[in-house]
């Protein structure tokens, strides 16, 4: 299992990562109706989803491997009077007791692992969730252009190391639907979707992800 490596948020801190993703907004009402408000924002970055859920009354804990990201999150939280418990930590060994959360977001984060690492992260997610808790998790799809980019290094049939850009040296796990079914065998899958995004300024690049809502039995 490769050692986890943080993002440098002083380089990657673009407007995109400041804005909450459209996919997470339906979770606000869904989880409120379920009285699920103890949220872990796993791989929180600079806090775009932590701020969104905190502003809707959730009790938010936020974790990221990057000290830069957590520092930026804390600065914004203080300036806006958000009550968020944020800390630096590795998602392969979450610093929380079992049954600590009744909802969790892991948006574009747990796939920054190799084959062994992603299995460990999913096991940790299972451990810190209460029975009946839900988690919204995104996975890289093998339809993503980066998976077949010859500039990147393949470590296995699923894991790629990027060699350029702000993610250079960071592993990425690219999944098929079958891979995800296997990884999430301890959960009940509630929603499962696949999304491809295309960009006018780079028509040859495809960004592709799976978005899965799961429930811990």
Q: What gap in Å lies between CA 27 and CA 31, rounded to an integer?
A: 6
Task: Give the domain ranges of the chain.
Answer: 9-215
pLDDT, one tens digit per residue, over 11-61 is 665 677 889 999 999 999 999 999 999 999 999 999 999 999 999 999 999
The pLDDT tens digits for 56-77 are 999 999 999 999 999 999 999 9
pLDDT at residue 167 is higher than 90: no
| Entry pTM | 0.94
pLDDT of residue 13: 58
Pick the CATH number of 9-215 from 1.25.40.10, 3.30.460.90, 3.40.50.150, 3.40.50.300: 3.40.50.150
Distance CA 154, CA 144 (A): 14
């Amino acid at each position: 299992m490769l050692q986890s490596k943080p993002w440098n948020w002083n380089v990657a801190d673009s407007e995109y990562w400041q804005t909450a993703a459209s996919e997470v907004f339906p979770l606000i009402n869904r989880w409120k109706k379920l009285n699920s408000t103890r949220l872990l924002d796993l791989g929180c970055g600079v806090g775009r989803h932590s701020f969104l859920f905190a502003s809707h009354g959730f009790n938010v804990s936020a974790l990221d491997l990057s000290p830069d990201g957590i520092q930026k999150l804390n600065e914004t939280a203080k300036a806006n009077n958000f009550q968020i418990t944020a800390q630096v930590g590795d998602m392969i060994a979450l610093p929380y007791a079992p049954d600590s959360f009744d909802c969790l977001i892991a948006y574009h984060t747990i796939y920054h692992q190799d084959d062994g690492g992603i299995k460990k992260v999913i096991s940790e997610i299972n451990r810190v969730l209460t029975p009946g808790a839900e988690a919204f998790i995104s996975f890289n799809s093998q339809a993503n252009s980066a998976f077949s980019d010859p500039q990147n290094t393949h470590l296995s049939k699923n894991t790629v190391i990027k060699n350029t850009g702000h993610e250079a040296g960071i592993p990425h796990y690219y999944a098929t639907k079958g891979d995800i079914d296997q990884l999430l065998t301890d959960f009940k899958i509630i929603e499962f979707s696949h999304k491809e995004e295309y960009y006018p300024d780079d028509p040859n690049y495809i960004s592709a992800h799976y978005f899965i809502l799961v429930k811990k039995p």
